[in-house]
Amino acid sequence: MNRHLISAGDLSRDDALLILDTAEELARVSERSIKKLPTLRGRTVVNLFFEDSTRTRISFEAAAKRLSADVINFSAKGSSVSKGESLKDTALTLEAMGADAVVIRHSASGAPHRLANWVHGSVVNAGDGTHEHPTQALLDAFSMRRRLGGLDGRRVTVVGDVLHSRVARSNVLLLHTLGAQVTLVAPPTLLPVSVDTWPCEVSYDLDAVLPKSDVVMMLRVQKERMNAAFFPSEREYSRRYGLDRDRFARMPDDAIVMHPGPMNRGMEIAAEVADSARSTIVEQVANGVTIRMAVLYLLLGGEIAQ
Amino acid sequence: MSEHTEHTGGEGDALIIRDVRILGAEPTDLRVENGLIAEIGPQPPGGRSVDGGGAVALPGLVDLHTHLREPGREDAETVQTGTQSAARGGYTAVHAMANTSPVADTAGVVEQVWRLGLEFGHCDVQPVGAVTVGLEGRQLAELGAMADSAARVRVFSDDGRCVDDAVLMRRALEYVKAFDGVVAQHAQEPRLTEGAQMNEGVVSGRLGLTGWPAVAEEAIIARDCLLAAHVGSRLHICHVSTAGSVEIIRWAKSKGWNITAEVTPHHLLLTDDLVEHSPAGAYNPIYKVNPPLRTRADVEAVRAALADGTIDIVATDHAPHPVEDKETEWSAAAMGMVGLETALSVVQEAMVDTGLLDWAGVAQRMSVVPARIGRLAGHGRPIEPGAPANLTLYDPAARTLVDPAAFASKSRNTPYEGMTLPGRVVATFLRGKPTVLEGKLT
């Protein structure tokens, strides 16, 4: 594996499977009453969050703590960053503190690539702008594998704002690597112009794709897109691309529903669909901690004490 | 090559430039007197002389598109350092763009910049005037006052911003006819490029960076060509970057309309995939520029257009930025690249070594025609007796490793760092006076 985890595209099939298998092993440990492992004792993990994301930060924090790493949370709000300190100076500060891994969330696509130029530790991308969110894709793949068995040949439909979605980018790359067939469904305004070069199928018609899906992953529609003429109205979006009860009924019986959260209930997903037994949304959160443990463990070269 | 002074008497301020190949022709000598070329042909030994060592002699280069940053951003560049950089690159005249602070939208500011150029004397500085007050695209600046000022402004541009209001653009095109001016348009439809970060295409889609679509350039160029034709005005199009723009300009010129266009050295050589894969790492803002680097097909199209005359000239769009404005995440970084000191080498790499242009063609596109568009009477003249001795001596056989630390420019934001480029400017002469000798400022 690379020293960093910045793009899902950097993972070979073997790397990806190693992470998923390691996560399985760690999940068994998590079922014990004492969840903590001494693996990363004495190592320092910095959560560097330039964007508010309590869910993701907590997930990484729990993962690092279960591996006994020291965790420093560095949030941009109220710090020197909000006073105009550059990413480079922040990086040099972390470097001086001896961070072994930096988990970065940033609103600018590519910020983790830049950070990797300035720190010696491992950089883990916890979401960069509209680029990627590789640990989300890993936890999604992990959740799918647990529900469906393998991923080879599985048909995964990703629905929503692909253009601005880091979750979609990472999922397309990782699922392709793992042998799944991905179909993106969105209004044409929310697809990149070059989406035909991606390793996936594309459709504008959710109803045509649903019956052929083993997994339907709904993406969050950001409020700001609603006011920028990407689609005429929330209601029209919801009618054409929302996963409501009727559409849910047309999915194959064993197909599952996913959402990276946070959800707009009633917009891209109906509440009863989100809460159904075939929804993995809560599992995804739990699996997030496990997969992030596996990533930190593998990047920092820890050992699992049996 | 060095300057030898042997007083053999009777020669006044005469200077012999020995062993140069004019536009790449057979070696000969030049005698320069009183700032003019006095004679071409073998010269007797002795006298004050410079040995050209077989270098190619070109008419002094003229840049129609330079950002000197003064007044306002003297941390990035000054008239002094910018013109030193120009001289090092073989330029004897530069057009200083108007997007300074304060904006060059009054006679006072253009005269200030023009006087600073005169004072330092590394090359001539011809200020460009803003088209609209404060570059804000709402009200015409006092174009006539700038034209009538000591700076004699003939090129007007809101470069950095597009004059996107069609009525305002029409009026500007019409108005400058009264003093033989030209509007140089930065073609960028603003609504189509809100938050744009790089060329919209395969790479932007993968990298999740907001796209700058080719159509945003092409739509403005098409509109402006039609406007210029309608009112019978002269239009110049800055930094053409797409294959579609080339087709539109080719069509407009076929109608006989009075349109000229420029391409930058970086758009002749570099492509958008450098944002994803380069020795400098992914998302390195050293490649962030406006208009953005495009695709290989666009590079091929602008090269062919420069070769066949559809694109008239090479202009650098030299855009200095301090280190801290580039050592950031991509979206926070400033757009632009320095270009004066590498322009001729890049043109050799992209156009001469590929067989698309000979040295006479380079002289047309980097000196003669830019001087004509800018109405600079003393520049871009053929190398012949009686012409001002504005000359660039260039050794195309040299290879130069680009080292930003060696630049005369105050800024280091070059995309060519670490690349080996062909050729080297060995000397530059401004009205007979060397501004650069042996590659160094005099």
Looking up tokens 């998923």, which residue turns up?
A: A20
User: Domain B3-57+387-441 class?
Assistant: mainly beta
Domain with CATH 2.30.40.10 in chain B: 3-57+387-441
In a domain, A258, yes or no: yes
Give the orientation angle of helix A134-148 with respect to helix A281-299, to 10 degrees. Answer: 120
What pLDDT does residue B410 have? Answer: 98
Shared domain check, A233 and A99: no
Shared domain check, A23 and A124: yes
What pLDDT does residue A302 have? Answer: 59
Structure token pair of residue B326: 């580039």
Instruction: Please state the residue numbers annotated as binding site of A.
Output: 55-56, 83, 105, 133, 136, 166, 220, 261-262
Shared domain check, A252 and A141: yes
Shared domain check, A164 and A124: no
Distance CA B426, CA B428 (A): 7
Choose among B27, B19, B26, B24: nearest CA to B51: B19
pLDDT digits 0-9 by tens, A102-145: 999 999 999 999 999 999 999 999 999 999 999 999 999 999 99
Residue of A108, A110, A164 lying closest to B282 (CB–CB): A110
Q: Which residues contact A156 (CB under 8 A, 6 or more apart)?
A: A144, A171, A175, A180, A181, A182, A183, A213, A214, A215, A217
In a domain, A125, yes or no: yes
Shared domain check, A111 and A147: no
pLDDT band at A44 (very low <50, low <70, confident <90, very high): very high
pLDDT higher than threshold 70 for residue A306: no
pLDDT digits 0-9 by tens, A226-278: 778 899 999 999 999 999 999 999 999 999 999 998 899 999 999 999 999 99
Q: What is the pTM of this model?
A: 0.94
Choose among B74, B94, B78, B75: nearest CA to B86: B94
State whether CATH 3.20.20.140 applies to domain B59-373: yes
In a domain, A206, yes or no: yes
pLDDT digits 0-9 by tens, B306-333: 999 999 999 999 999 999 999 999 999 9
Residues in B touching A106 (Cβ below 8 Å): 329
Q: What residues of chain B score a pLDDT lower than 70?
A: 1-12
Residues in A touching B197 (Cβ below 8 Å): 109
What pLDDT does residue B280 have? Answer: 87
Which of A88, A194, A197, A202 is the best residue to mutate to test the B interface, defined by the most B CB atoms within 10 Å of its own CB? A194
In a domain, A255, yes or no: yes
CATH number of the domain within which A187 lies:
3.40.50.1370
Q: Which residues contact B58 (CB under 8 A, 6 or more apart)?
A: B23, B90, B359, B362, B363, B366, B367, B383, B391, B392, B393, B394
Shared domain check, A156 and A120: no
Domain with CATH 3.20.20.140 in chain B: 59-373
pLDDT digits 0-9 by tens, B58-68: 999 999 999 99
DSSP three-state, residue B127: strand
Cα–Cα distances in Å, from B186 out to A51, B235, B247? 34, 11, 18
pLDDT digits 0-9 by tens, B247-262: 999 999 999 999 999 9
- Look up A164 and say whether it is catalytic: no
Shared domain check, A217 and A143: yes
- Look up A223 and say whether it is catalytic: no
Instruction: Please state the residue numbers annotated as binding site of A for carbamoyl phosphate.
Output: 55-56, 105, 133, 136, 261-262
In a domain, A306, yes or no: no
Shared domain check, A232 and A176: yes
Domain of residue A169 covers 134-284
Is the CB of B202 inside 8 Å of chain A's CB atoms? yes
The alpha carbon dihedral of A273, A275, A279, A282 has a sign of: positive
In a domain, A85, yes or no: yes
In a domain, A1, yes or no: no
Domain count, chain A: 2
Q: How far is B328 from chain A (nearest CA, A)?
A: 6
In a domain, A121, yes or no: yes
- Look up A56 and say whether it is catalytic: yes
Shared domain check, A292 and A280: no
